[in-house]
Each structure stands twice: as C-alpha cells, then as structure tokens.
Structure 1
Amino acid sequence: MTGSLLRALAGHAEAAPDRAALVTSGRQLGYRELYREAAAVAAGLNRRGIGRGALVGVHGEKSAEAVTALLGVLLAGAAYVPLDPSAPAARRRGLVGDAGPAAVLGPRSRMPRLTAELGPVRLLAVEDLVEQHGDEPYRPAEVGPEDLAYVLYTSGSTGRPKGVCIPHRALDAFFAGVGPLLEIGPESVCLNTSALHFDVSVVDLLLPLLHGATVHLGPALPLPALLLDLIERERVTHLAAVGSTLTLLAQQGDGLTGRRLGSLRRIMTGAEVLNPATVQSWLAAAEQVRVVNGYGPTEATCLVVAQPIAEREPGRTAHYPIGTPLPGVTVAFRAPDGTVSEHGPGELLIAGDQLMTGYLNRPEEQAAAFLEVAGVRHYRTGDLGRRGPDGVITFAGRADDEVKIRGYRINLNEVRGSVESHPAVAQAFVAAAPDGRDGLALACVVRLRAGAAVDQAALAAHVAGALPRYMVPREFVLVPEFPALSTGKPDTVRLRELVGAR
C-alpha cells in the first residue's frame, strides 16, 4: 500500500501524541505537534494550488522547520527537492532552474537571503504556513505508487547535476526491506548525522519517524566531541553515518576509549569502502552494537545490499563484503563483453521496486543508466563486484577505479587499503597523476592518526612490503584533515587536486 510514512505519522500522532518525535538544539516536537505543523504546511501548499505531481524545493538547513517542510510536502501529495544550504548560490539557483519547483520552503529568517540568491521563484516561509493553517483539519492527499516522493540531485561529478526521481513505490519498498535489518521501534533513539539533501537522511530521519522513534537532529558539521557527547547523553540506540565520519569519531582524542556507548544497538554505514579498524573500534566500544555495512546508489533509494557485522576481530585488515540483497532486490553482474550472470565478476546491475523513475529532464542520461535483461529493467551502477558461493557480494571498486600504469592494471582501492593498514594512517586517497617519466604514476593523500608521525619513505616501504613495486605510490601528501563535501563524504575533486591528478 502506497504512502506508508504518511499513514504512520498520522497513526503516531493519534496513538502517542506526546512521544518525542524530533529533537533539535532549540526545540522538541512530539508526534502530535510535528504532524500538526506538517499538515499545516500541506494545507498551505494545497490552498496555493500546489499538490499531487508538483515539485517543492526545501531549504535543507538542519532544523525543525526543514523537517516540517519535508513532511508537509509529502502530505500535500507533492515531492520535495532538498537544497544544500552550504552550496554556492549559483549552484542552488541552477538546481531550482532545472527542477522548476512550484515553490521553495524555508525558515522565515532565511527569506531575504533566499530571495537574493534563488532568483524568480515563489518563496514560502514555513512558520507563516504553520501560523495561517495550523488549526485547520487536514486530510493527506492520496498518492499513487509512481507519484514522486523526492528528487535528490547527484554531486555533479559528470559536470552537470542530475535529479534522481524517487517514487513512493521505491520509498515504501526500501522501508519494508531495511526495517527488519535495523529493528527500529518506538523506544529507539536515533541520531541523524546526514545532511537533508543526502540520501542517507532516508535512513536516519524518515525511517525512524515511520517507526515512531525519537530522532535527534545532529549538527550540520559532524564535530566528533559534540556527536559523541550526544550519543552518551541521550543514550542513542541507532546511528547512521558514512564510513569517514565513523572513522573521524573513532579517532577523536583518545578514540572511543572510556565512552559510555552501551545503549547503541545498530550503526548503519556505507557510501564508502569501510576501514576494518574503524568497525572494530566501534564493536569494541559498544558491547551490544551491530554494524551494518550497506551498499546502494541514490538511484536505488539509498540501500539495496547489506552485511551485518557483529564479530569482534581485533587487528582485522581484510575488507568487509557488502552482503546480500534486501528483499525484493535483484543483483546481477555484467562482464566487459556484455554478458550478464548471477555471480560475476562484473558491473553490478540492480533491479526491483527500489529503482528510481529516472533522471529529471535528462532523457539521454536516463536511457544510458538502464539496461534491460530478460525483459527486466536494471540500473547500471558503474560499480564492480562478484557474488561468492555463499551468496555474499564483495565490492571491487568502481569501473573507473582501475588504471593502467606501465602496462600494469591497478585497482586504486587495493593500494588505498594497503596504505591504510599502516598503524599511523587514519585515511588515504589514491589517484593516478600525470608523470613526466611514465605518463601516469600513483600519488596518495594521507591523514595520520592523532599524535602519529611517519615519513614518505616509511609509507612507501610499508606498501612495498604488501604489494608489487608498480603499485607503490610515487608521492605521499600528508594533510591534517581530508577536504569534505557537505554530505560528509571526502571531496574527491579537491583530493585529486592535491596530487595533481586529472
């Protein structure tokens, strides 16, 4: 049945009106109040002729008003388009121009800035809608399976951002598939660390609200001490964060040593290849936690394959598999010669109800993103992997993570893993950079652990002890912190610039 989140919110408002739904630095809203405000936004949109089939932009600043806006857009039958508040004004203006939203919602305090930055688009203050329509009875709009729930823009690594259109059919399938894995319930306390324009927010914001849990909206910047203090103080049970954020938290000060993390039950992570040492640090610090390594592109509603990790293995260096498909998801593999198989190796192809409708206003790119296999539409991920005899899938990097140097084919993830196995290294990034002698050479950006010291020669010797010499980076650039995107992921464009890679 379509619209499970909308029905659940109405049910929680009726059955547990005073249970905390959303907690921010300045407000706490119970389910009744959250639903009332979201319904007021929906009523305000409908009265202005904005409803089913429309797109509505939402200024994605992490606040109660932003969450109210997202939910209100859904209740109105429309789809939300979150705008990254930290992005340059020109980029946000470009996204608004591309999406053509019927309106953009934001907090009253940001209206002057949004007016100046976004150009000729209808702006509505969330507080105004709540004040004007907060006492009106509201019946949520009926939505169909193919009606859009949200449009998320990709990072634009191709040079032109693409709007990924996720329908209610996909969102409902995701909720049904991932729910049993995370076991979130009304007594759960969940920490939102992801930006609202990042697809992980579906996991750490919408999914907890579906199940009647309490969501603490984390700060816009993942400040390690602040987040760890919050986890301890509020006895957080569920946390979702990209791998680099988990590493940052695990290495803050004395790491997780001495932290009271016994309340944690699930940590959902993914979006990057996991550092095994990071996973083991969390497993050692929180005796009841299970880490879930998730894999999935935005085009398939965040997560399609998952691997629960509970084994305490101090000193582990082997990378974790990404696991098995969620219920309703099919994964196949396409070899370089175009043949498709169940076990691979090859490019991961994804089928099932979690797939996007397509890219907004990008018919050519949309056509290239899909491949029909035996009459079934599959999404081409560009990621490489294989399925083992036990049915578990391992990730082998992206197709463009493989380079050829001096005739040797090299997987950059393998080199990065070797560098990160050095005890002084916290995080590494490897790229192929122009080289006057060989055309291309490997170069590596390294962030050291707090208090650690190591020189380039020692790092090169360490890698040479594990990999062939042609896989040893010629240059190591040491940095205090990795540049990051607003989503928390490493900024690969800036990292490549540090080593002169193209």
Structure 2
Amino acid sequence: MPGETEVLGEGFVDSWQRYPQQTALVVDDDNFTYADLGTRSLAVKEILNSEEISNTKNVGLLTGKNIGAYVGILGTLFAGKAYVPMKPDHPIERNKEILENSSIDTILIDHAGVENLQALLREVDVSITVGTLPSVDDDQREDLGKLTDSETINIAIPPTTNKDPDTDILPDISSKETAYILFTSGSTGRPKGVPITHQNVRSYLKHTWRTYDFNSSDRFSQFFDLTFDLSVHDMFVCWGVGGSLHVIPEENKMAPGQFINDREITVWFTVPSTAMFMSQFGQLKPSTYPELRYSFFCGEALSGRLASMWQKAAPNSIVENLYGPTEATIATARYRWQPDESIEYCENGITPIGEVFPHQQREIVSRDGDIVEQGKEGELYIAGPQVFDGYIERPQANEESFTEIGGTRWYRTGDLVRKDDDGRLHFISRIDNQIQIRGHRVELLEIEATIRDIVESEMVAAVGWPVEEGIAQSIQAFIVPEEEISPKEVIQECETELPDYMVPKEIHLIEEMPLNVNGKIDRTQLRTSLSESHE
C-alpha cells in the first residue's frame, strides 16, 4: 500500500521514485514511463507557479483525452491548485457555466479545445490566462491571444527523460484544500459544482489500497471521461501502486473485448452499460478474459444476470459492484459477487450494493425523516470523511441536500435503498426516477428486469412518458433486440407477470441504446425521442 497520502498525487510521486522506468500511461498507442509523465507534469507546474498566474486557484482543462490531459491534471495538482475538467465537445453554454461557477481564470488547452475556447472567450467578460499545450499551433495560439486580455502562455513539454523526482514536487497545502471540481450532469437543471478536497479523495484511496491487493504488475483500464469522478479512481488508484494505465480509445468503448485481451488488462472498471453492449456483441462468452483479476462496475444498477455473465467470461476475476454519488467521492459502498449464491440475493434482478465502507456512516431514512427498521425502504444518508462540504454558490441546493440527525451532518443521496436480513443494502431507485401512474408508485427497474427475462437481453430501458405534474401517463419500453422479437408478444408476457398499471403501453425496438457522456443509458434522450415522434 502507498504511503499515508496527504494530497492527491503523492501516490504518483511515490511510484515515480520506486518505478521510474515502468510504464505509467498508454494513450493513443504511446507509452509513457513514470519519469516521462512526471517530468512533463513538472513543466505544467512551473508555468502555473510562475509569477504572472501564481494566484490562480482553479485551473480549467479543456483538452481531449490525450497526454496533454494527464500532464495537465498532474501538473495542476503539483502546483497546489484544483483541476476542473471541461469537454471540448460540450455546448458552449455548459462550459460557460463551469467557467463562471468555479472561478477559473487559467485554462490549459490542446488542439481539441481550441475551437470551443475561441467561442467561449467571445461569450464571457472575464480575463483568462490560456496555457497552450504543444499540439496547439502558432496560428491558433495567436488567434486565442486576440480574444483575451490576459496572457497566452506556451507550455513547452520536455522530451522523454530519465530524471528522478525532486523532493519538493508536492505542494505544501492543507488536505482540506480542493483537489478537483466536477459538475453534475445538469439533467434536472443547472449543473452543480462539486468541490472534492484532498482529504475526501485521500480517504477513498487509502480504503481502496488497503482493501485490494493491487500491485505494480497490474494493468488498469481508463474508461471514464475525465469529467466523470470515476476517472479519478482509474488514474490515482493505478498510479499509487505503480501500475500501468491504459486509456481506451473512443472507437473501442462499446465493444472493448479485444482491447482487454490485447492489453492484458488485469483491473477493469466501467459502467454496466458497457457490459450490456459487450453481451450484445457476443463478447461475454465463458472464459474470454482469463487475465482479469478484478472487475469493477459503478454508476448504474448492475443486473444479476449481467454480473453472472461477466463472472463466467472472467472466471479468475473478483467482480465487485461499487456504489456512490460524486458528492461522496467516487464510491462509498461495495458488494462482492459470489458465483454460487449472489443471484439469490438480487432484488428486481439487481445486484446488491452491499454495505458502506467501514470509515463511512450511513442511515436509511423514511420520507417523514424517521430512521427506518431493517427490511423497510428509505433514502440513504451518508456521512464521513469522503462527503464533500457543499455545492459551489448553491445555498438552496445545499440546504436540500444536507440534514442533521443526532449531531451528525448527513448528505442525502436521493437514492432509495433497503437493508435485508443479512445486512446487505439493495438499491431500489432514484427518488426522482420513481414515477406515479394511475395512483401507484412504480419502480422502473422492476419493469426492466421483467422485460430482460422475457427477451433474454440486457439492452432494455423503461421510462414514464409523458409526465404531467409528476404523474406519468404511460410506460414506454425500449429494447435493442439480440434476435427477432414481437413487441406485441412482449407486452402480452408482461401482462402475465406485472400488475396492469406497470405493463408498458408500447415497446420500441431500436438499433442502438443512446448513452450519455459517462457511458450510461441516456433516458432523457429516450424521452426526447418520444416527444419528437409525437409532434
């Protein structure tokens, strides 16, 4: 296990000292050792600590998923500042919200971010220092300089090096300072800024390193977008043990089976939707991935059927279902799949989320604010060192998201759960994803589980539509069929297994399930498609 990390990035420096010539990162088919990546990151640190911009606290990263992004993250952390990832293909309005809400006054960009930043600078009335990474050419740099009152700085990245790390790489800052700021999806309104401190993420990393026997021979996947908090796990769990991080190309994300085997990945981490696609493409056949030692899933409900298929495809792998909101730092509960018994513990066909980490606290609370008895469902409240302090400049959201019980400040997750007789937590649904229809409160996960069993496919999603004043007028289901099926027959089978108010009004067969930027099924897009088709 790495040392008692005080700031995010200490684990990387520790591995740089121990394994300087070992591969730290493979991206765009280029290999970078710990010495390579570390030295390049120090060039970013030097710029960020220069006299002109040393007062910067939050650094925006408007880059593609390439070497520039990773040296930008590490260099920002080495400089004692917080990194704020932004996506070049996000709408200008969203990046404007991020820029203004997180008080960014310095942005690092590569060639992928130039066009977005040019448009962004025309929209905001603030001075922004722009740090351009080597992939930005001279003409682009000159054009950007005309759009901001501040300086445009070229960041020179040194070539491959064998340099050992200096002793003063890490910043002398409090662990209560912000390490990174991420923004919620904004699907229910304006995106909310979530500042995570070094102490928050340190608590998660220390727990993870102690729990699993990762080592410097492990080859970790890097699936998640850098605007998604699970990417922090990808990077810093790996770099803290001296492992190599393998960035999955966009073209391989829906069907990464060959990538797993070609790169001999030993630690895999993704959302369940990826496994759904792999099943659809025939990539979950038994014993397909013998090299995998660990397989983690997070971000969505993991069906028991899918967990079982994955376990058979990766027979030597420990399969774990992780759970946790961004506000509680990456993950805060886990359940280990047991091939011989776990399928019996699934409720609505969904794998349990297990129990919260031992250094965290939890309560299950009813709608009336009472702590519920075992076996009853309620909202999951979380407290502990991983829970963030509050959203940026959102007092009303903070008031709604936090409450005090017994002298403890609790974060309200918005997730309904139930604890079974053996102490396992089961995810029921999001409070805001429960729908009411014909006077009944309906769990869409239960409908999806029924349809999955009928069609023997994981690619299923159910939504309430249209919704008026919080009440759904009908249930609509979407299926990506693996073989020819009849929507009428699926509805008829649902009628034999579900109460009439839970039976989908329509079944839509689609060629591809839409995903959001984090790889999850995009139910908002499904509802939008229904609205557009009925205009």
**Superposition TM-score, scaled by structure 1 size:** 0.92
Instruction: Return the match for 2:413 from 381, 406, 426.
Output: 381
User: Cα deviations across residues 223-278 of structure 1 (Å, max 9, x unaligned)?
Assistant: 444x21111111100111111112112321x3333774111011111211112222
Q: Is contact 2:178-2:196 (8 Å) kept?
A: yes
1:67–1:401 Cα change, 3 Å: same
Alignment of 1:33-112 (within 5 A): 33-48=36-51, 50=53, 54-108=57-111, 110-111=113-114
State the distance in 2 between where 1:380 and 1:116 align. Answer: 37
Task: Between 13-22 and 119-128, report the one with greater CA deviation.
Answer: 119-128
- Kindly state the Cα deviation for residue 199 of structure 1 after the two structures are TM-superposed: 1.0
Provide the rounded CA distance (Å) in 1 between the counterparts of 2:116 and 2:495.
Answer: 53
Partner of 2:147: none
Change (3 A) 1:419 1:182: farther
Aligned to 1:346: 378
Instruction: Within 5 Å, give how 1:397-416 maps onto structure 2.
Output: 397-416=429-448
- Of 152, 156, 159 in structure 1, the residue corresponding to residue 186 of structure 2 is 156
Asked if 1 retains the 8 angstrom alpha-carbon contact of 2:286 and 2:312, the reply is no
CA distance in 2, matches of 1:315, 1:380: 29
Question: How much does 1:385 deviate?
Answer: 0.7
CA contact (8 A) 2:24 2:32 kept: yes
Q: Which segment drifts farther, 133-142 or 83-92?
A: 133-142
Secondary structure at the aligned position of 1:359 is classed as coil
Give the match for residue 248 of structure 2.
218
- Which residue identity is paired with 1:30? T
Structure 1 match to 2:146? none
Which residue pairs with 2:30 in the alignment?
Answer: 27
> Within 2, Cα distance between the matches of 1:321 and 1:230?
29
Q: Deviations over 1:204-224 (max 9, x none)?
A: 122111221100011235544
1:122 to 123, 126, 129: 129
| Cα distance in 2, alignment partners of residues 243 and 163 from structure 1 | 25
Letter in 1 for 2:92: A
Give the stretch that moved more between structures: 127-136 or 316-325.
127-136
Q: Distance in 2 between matches of 1:250 and 1:259?
A: 14
Question: Counterpart in 2 of 1:188?
Answer: 218
The 1:469–1:353 alpha-carbon spacing in structure 2 relative to 1, beyond 3 Å, is same
What residue is the counterpart of 2:264 in the other structure?
Answer: 235
2:138 matched to which residue of 1? none
1:244 is aligned with what amino acid? S
User: Does 1:481 find its partner at 2:507?
Assistant: no
Conservation of the 8 A alpha-carbon contact between 1:115 and 1:123: no
Secondary structure of 2:361's match?
A: strand
Contact 2:12 2:236 in 1 (8 A): no
Residue number in structure 1 paired with 2:12: 9
Aligned to 1:283: 311
SS in 2 for 1:390: coil
What is the aligned-residue RMSD (CA, Å)? 2.6
CA-CA distance at 1:294 after TM superposition = 0.9
CA contact (8 A) 2:361 2:383 kept: yes
**Aligned residue number for residue 496 of structure 2:** 465
Matches within 5 A, 1:257-272: 257=285, 260-272=288-300
Matched, 1:273 2:280: no
- SS of the residue corresponding to residue 339 of structure 2 reads coil
- In terms of mean alpha carbon deviation, does 304-313 or 185-194 score higher? 304-313
Tell me the amino acid that sits aligned with residue 22 of structure 1.
L
For 2:481 and 2:488, the matched residues in 1 are separated by 18
Deviates more, 1:475-484 or 1:138-147: 138-147
- State the alpha-carbon separation in 1 of the partners of residues 445 and 285 from structure 2: 29
Q: How many residues align?
A: 497
Q: Deviations over 1:318-374 (max 9, x none)?
A: 321100111211110111111124745211000000011211121221222111111
Shift of 1:77: 0.6
SS at match of 2:458: strand
- Kindly state the Cα deviation for residue 51 of structure 1 after the two structures are TM-superposed: 5.3
Q: Encode CA deviations 1:102-153: one digit per residue, 9 max, x unaligned.
A: 2111225644552343445221023442448999966321121210000000
Partner of 1:492: 523
SS at structure 2 position matched to 1:39: helix
Aligned with 2:421: secondary structure? coil
**Alpha-carbon distance between aligned partners in 1 of 2:80 and 2:226, rounded to the nearest angstrom:** 19
Tell me, yes or no, if the aligned pair for 2:224 and 2:230 is still in contact at 8 Å. Answer: yes
Out of 391, 416, 427, the position equivalent to 2:459 is 427
Change (3 A) 1:182 1:220: farther
User: How many Å apart are 1:85 and its aligned residue?
Assistant: 2.5
CA distance in 2: counterparts of 1:246 and 1:391, whole angstroms: 27
Task: Give the SS at the match of 1:364.
Answer: helix
Distance 2:192 2:414 in 1: 16
Counterpart-to-counterpart distance in 2, 1:108 and 1:498: 33
Check conservation: 2:475, 2:502, Cα contact below 8 A.
no
Give secondary structure in 1 for the equivalent of 2:498: coil
- Whether the 8 Å contact between 1:18 and 1:30 is mirrored in structure 2 is yes
- Write out per-residue CA displacement over residues 49-70 of structure 1, whole angstroms, 9 at most, x where no aligned residue: 5458711001242111101101
Alignment-mate amino acid for residue 432 of structure 2? D
Among 21, 40, 47, the alignment partner of 1:18 is: 21
Cα deviations by residue, 1:261-306 (Å, 9 ceiling, x for unpaired) = 1110111112111122221221111110121111100100010011
C-alpha distance 435-154 of structure 1, shift in aligned 2 (>3 A)? closer
Distance 1:71 1:356 in 2: 21
Pick closer, same or farther for the CA change 1:74–1:268 going to 2, 3 Å. same
SS in 2 for 1:159: coil
Counterpart code for 1:248: F
Q: Give the Å deviation of 1:84.
A: 1.9
Asked if structure 2 preserves the Cα contact closer than 8 Å seen for 1:22 and 1:28, the reply is yes
Specify the SS of the correspondent of 2:108.
strand
C-alpha distance in 2, partners of 1:131/1:43? 11
Deviates more, 1:376-385 or 1:97-106: 97-106
Cα pair 1:477 1:498 within 8 Å, conserved: no
Using the alignment, how far apart are the partners of 1:302 and 1:20 within structure 2? 25
Q: How many Å separate the matches in 1 of 2:378 and 2:104?
A: 39
Q: Per the alignment, in what secondary structure is the counterpart of residue 383 of structure 2? A: strand
The DSSP-based 3-state class of the residue aligned with 1:355 is: coil
How far the C-alpha of 1:172 sits from its partner, in A, is 0.4
Q: Give the C-alpha shift of residue 46 in structure 1.
A: 0.5
The 3 A distance-change label for structure 1 pair 55 and 260 is same
For residues 121 and 317 of structure 2, the distance between their equivalents in structure 1, rounded to whole angstroms, comes to: 44
Question: Quick check: 1:178–1:326 contact (8 Å CA) kept in 2?
Answer: no
SS where residue 441 of structure 2 aligns? strand
Residues 431-450 of structure 1 correspond to what in structure 2 (within 5 A)?
A: 431-434=463-466, 440-450=472-482
1:499 offset after TM fit, Å? 3.3
Instruction: Report if aligned partners of 2:63, 2:113 keep a CA contact under 8 Å in 1.
Output: no
Structure 2 counterpart SS, 1:499 = helix
Q: Partners in 2 of 1:497 and 1:224 — Cα distance?
A: 23
1:157, 1:295 → 2: CA distance? 20
Contact 1:60 1:197 in 2 (8 A): no
The structure-2 alpha-carbon separation of the partners of 1:40 and 1:284, relative to structure 1 and needing over 3 Å to count, comes to same
Q: Is the 8 A contact 2:81 2:178 kept in 1?
A: yes
- Residue 147 (structure 2) pairs with residue 144 (structure 1): no
Q: Alpha-carbon deviation of 1:97? A: 2.2
Q: Determine what percentage of the aligned residue pairs are the same residue.
A: 28
Structure 1, unaligned stretches of length 5 or more? none
